[in-house]
Structure 1
Amino acid sequence: MELLLNENYSGFEKEEYILIKSQKELNAFYGKINRTRKPGLTPPEVDFNSEMILIWCGDNSASNYANLTLNEDDEFLGIRKLKSKTSKEESKLVVSPFSIYKLPLSAKSLKIEK
């Protein structure tokens, strides 16, 4: 699992995990996050014949990026968000961070491990 991008504003109001397996889906996601950006972010180059994209979007109470790990078994791709150390100083900024990861293409379903 390779981290491609961490950014501070996704526009999502609640935490979401999005698995993208086509350029059309990736362009739609970038269309949503670029609505309030001038200039907008450019989608990464991805070979969807051998790779897929996992996107984590934090809610607007999240102040840090996610640190995700991938565990693969016979049936699932297990994604676990590692606990991060939060600073004692609270930020007054309104953010909804997101992280984009590149994974090898798999037909297995995604399972979020809490």
Structure 2
Amino acid sequence: MENLVLADFDSFSNVEVYETTVIKDAKSLSKFYAGINKTRKPGLPVPIVDFSKEMAILVCLGEQKGKTKPVLSKLNETEDELVIALEIMVEIEEETTIQPTYFPFYLYKLPLVDKVITLQKIDR
């Protein structure tokens, strides 16, 4: 997706289930980082987002066995709504009998739009 920039990601968050959030203010972004930084010393820095021009999409994948990453693409766009497809891709690792467990999150920035943003998870 053009104009979509990965601002931050980490393999471990405190979010145990899949969820997505559109963030349009600094207070909400800081609140998320305060939550994931409770168990980190030092904590992750809050990315800089100019909310007068940009918005953020937070994708928490929940519990994942092995490394995964989301791939976002524009599915449909109307005057009122932007539908973004989210597909979770599995990164191929060497064959092991035990897959580590991750709770990854990804934070994307995109230009501010006055539309409803809908993220649609694509299962394969």
Q: Give the whole-Å Cα distance in 1 for the aligned partners of 2:109 and 2:16.
A: 23
The equivalent residue for 1:80 is 85
Counterparts of 1:20-99 in structure 2 under 5 Å? 20-61=23-64, 63-71=67-75, 72-87=77-92, 89=95, 92-99=99-106
Identity within the alignment, %: 33
Work out the number of aligned pairs and report it.
114
Given residue 94 of structure 1, which amino acid in structure 2 is its aligned partner? T
The equivalent residue for 1:109 is 116
What is the TM-score when the length of structure 1 is the normalising length? 0.87
Mark the runs of 5 or more structure 2 residues left unpaired by the alignment. Answer: none
Q: Give the whole-Å Cα distance in 2 for the aligned partners of 1:78 and 1:14.
A: 21
Native 8 Å contact 1:76 1:110 kept in 2? yes
Q: Secondary structure at the match of 1:112?
A: strand
Mark the runs of 5 or more structure 1 residues left unpaired by the alignment. Answer: none
Query: Which of 1 and 2 has greater Rg?
Result: 2
Native 8 Å contact 1:6 1:65 kept in 2? no
What is the TM-score when the length of structure 2 is the normalising length? 0.81
Query: What do the CA deviations read for 1:59-109 (whole angstroms, capped 9, x no partner)?
Result: 112531212123433221211123524426365322111111001112211
Q: Secondary structure at the match of 2:89?
A: coil
